[in-house]
Chain A
Amino acid sequence: MQVLPNITIEHYLSLSAVLFCLGLFGMMFRKNAIIIFMCVELMLNAVNLALVAFSKIHGDTDGQIFVFFIMVVAAAEVAVGLAILMMLYRNMHTTDTDELNSLKG
């Protein structure tokens, strides 16, 4: 299962896992909503990487098509998400997620 000479699929999967966990960690660690968003993008990209690696192994295009669609969704999501963020800022005058506790109780 060599993706590249001397590089097996496990390498790619590990890399993907590391990036994913980094993104996850970042999501939990940072307060700023925008940074959290960016970490989400990071996670998505990690998944994309894994998918392309799989596609290479199988010799199929399926993985890459999937990556396409993930990118589509990511783009749409960013658009809407940032719009929401804008509205949030307008109301709360901050992007600190710790302030968003009106659902408390």
Chain B
Amino acid sequence: MLTEYAFWLLSFIAVFSGMAVIISKNPVYSVLYLIMTFFSIAGHYFLMNAQFLAAVHIIVYAGAIMVLFLYVIMMLNLNNIETEKRHNIIKLLAVSAAGLLLLVLSGAVQKADEIAVSGQVGAAGMVENLGIALYRNYLLPFELASVLFLAAMVGAVYLSKKNLNETQSA
């Protein structure tokens, strides 16, 4: 019962703050709303017995990524309200595209066959199980992920160098 209420509440918050992300004029507000969305999704994870993932989610997303975003916004001084001068037709197109996609997806969901449920339900999500799965079955992707981070780091540092391509950028 409680879970049901929790689910609906969290869903509502998620959707609402998602919309707010898009609509708000101030980028900083958008960031904050996005953080709220992340929290609600983390709540969903908790509900689904994926506690570790929820924690990691909050730490990584809300803690690191959004902070990065805020850094950039602050640095570029983008908290001014910007004027949106999009053509009406583009807005219409965007709405219809997204709406269509929603339609298709929900249609797919409705039509989907029953998924066969297997094994123990609920045991997953504990750190122990996750750790076993990660280091046993998915070791290679794990290692490659570290390489990926390395590449990203190098890329980010290199791209942000100041005295690069100043004369060639025109």
Contact = CB atoms under 8 A, between A and B. Distances in A.
Contact, chains A and B (beta carbon distance below 8 A)? yes
Interface of A: 1, 3-7, 9-15, 17-26, 28-32, 34-35, 37-39, 41-42, 45, 48-49, 52-62, 64-65, 67-69, 71-80, 82-87, 89-91, 95-96, 98
Contact of B68 (A11, A52, A72, A82): A82
B68 A4 contact: no
A91 B95 CA distance: 32
A43 B43 CA distance: 17
Contacts of A26: 18, 21-22
A74 to B, nearest CB: 7
A53 B52 CA distance: 15
Given A9-B115, A61-B133, A38 B31 contact: yes
Contact of A29 (B11, B94, B114, B160): B94
A46 to B, nearest CB: 8
Contacts of B9: none
Given A21-B102, A59-B117, A87-B160, A69 B145 contact: yes
A56 B93 CA distance: 36
Interface residues of B, number: 90
A52 B15 CA distance: 18
A11 B7 contact: yes
Given A35-B30, A80-B152, A91-B169, A45 B41 contact: yes
Contact of B18 (A19, A34, A69): A19
Contacts of A12: 44
B144 to A, nearest CB: 9
A32 B85 CA distance: 11
A56 B18 contact: no
Contacts of A96: 82
Contacts of B15: 15, 18-19, 22
A28 B7 CA distance: 29
A59 B148 contact: no
A78 B60 CA distance: 11
A32 B25 CA distance: 10
A69 B76 CA distance: 30
Interface in B90-149: 90-91, 93-95, 97-99, 101-102, 105-106, 109-110, 112, 114-115, 117-125, 129-130, 132-134, 137-138, 141, 145, 148-149
A59 B122 CA distance: 6
Given A41-B34, A64-B53, A34 B98 contact: no
B89 interface: no
Contacts of A38: 21, 30-31, 34, 69
